[in-house]
Amino acid sequence: MTDWPIDAELASRREQMVRDQLVERGISHPAVLAAMRAVPRHEFVAASQRAFAYDDRPLSVGYGQTISQPYMVAVMTEALDPHLDERVLEVGTGSGYQAAVLARLVREVISIECVPELAAQAGETLRQLRITNVTLIVGDGTLGYPERQPYDGIIVTAGAPAVPKTLIAQLGEGGRVVIPVGSQMYQELFVIRRREGKIVEEHREGCVFVPLRGTYGWG
């Protein structure tokens, strides 16, 4: 686990983000809240966007992609219910912020990004922050990454038309998938668990994510 130099003003804004946007809206998982307090979200956005890094909204990271609203990052991470001894697959690296949050909560993160330029930017940010337990892959995230299966958790950070069966197939016993499913304009957050060989699906709140790209996405 890496600790970074503390900028008092940014740390105060991050604490306010956690208090007002997360705790006040029902996020209660202690480790998730600690990770959101610790990870410097401003490092994952362009310099021109840093003034807005702790606002309650997504921000563009280029290439038609966004860094998710802090609340949605927390909701999805809490729904994943991560543990320190686990391996997690992330589909859609984007800026690398979600991967950085997960890196404080699990043993290993495998993160797949279909835009090579975004993967390179995320890799550089993670390197500068000395986060060493994230492996970045450039490719089609809807196919998963079978080379490192089974996964204890899989998190998809873009809206899918359906749950890719390829991801379910790579889920270990007791594992969870968190994925937004619906149209390109609106989705529901699905939480899927593998229990004793059976797949249990739960539908949670509505959300809006950029479209998932790839074989089992929107093309």
Please report whether residue 216 resides in a domain.
no
Cα separation, 26 vs 39, in Å, equals 20
pLDDT digits (tens, 9 = 90+) for 70-95: 999 999 999 999 999 999 999 999 99
Please report whether residue 219 resides in a domain.
no
CATH number of the domain that 107 lies in?
3.40.50.150
Predicted structure pTM score = 0.94
Torsion sign over Cα 149, 114, 129, 66: negative
Cα separation, 137 vs 109, in Å, equals 11
Please report whether residue 152 resides in a domain.
yes
Q: Which of 68, 95, 111, 183 is catalytic?
A: 68
Q: Is the per-residue pLDDT at 3 higher than 80?
A: no
Please report whether residue 214 resides in a domain.
no
Please report whether residue 198 resides in a domain.
yes
Give the total number of structural domains in the chain.
Answer: 1
In this prediction, residue 44 has a pLDDT band, given cuts at 50, 70 and 90, of very high
pLDDT digits (tens, 9 = 90+) for 175-202: 999 999 999 999 999 999 999 889 999 9
Q: 9 vs 13, 14, 38, 51, CA distance in Å? A: 6, 9, 14, 11
Cα separation, 144 vs 151, in Å, equals 10
Q: Is the per-residue pLDDT at 1 higher than 70?
A: no
Please report whether residue 202 resides in a domain.
yes
Please report whether residue 104 resides in a domain.
yes
Torsion-angle region of residue 103: left (phi > 0), alpha (psi -120 to 50) or beta?
alpha
- What single letter denotes the amino acid at residue 10? L
In this prediction, residue 10 has a pLDDT band, given cuts at 50, 70 and 90, of confident
At residue 94's C-alpha, the angle toward residues 89 and 96, to 5°, is: 70
Please report whether residue 1 resides in a domain.
no
pLDDT digits (tens, 9 = 90+) for 101-156: 999 999 999 999 999 999 999 999 999 999 999 999 999 999 999 999 999 999 99
Residue among 105, 15, 5 at smallest CA distance from 54 = 15
Active-site residue 68, yes or no? yes
Domain with 139 in it: 8-207
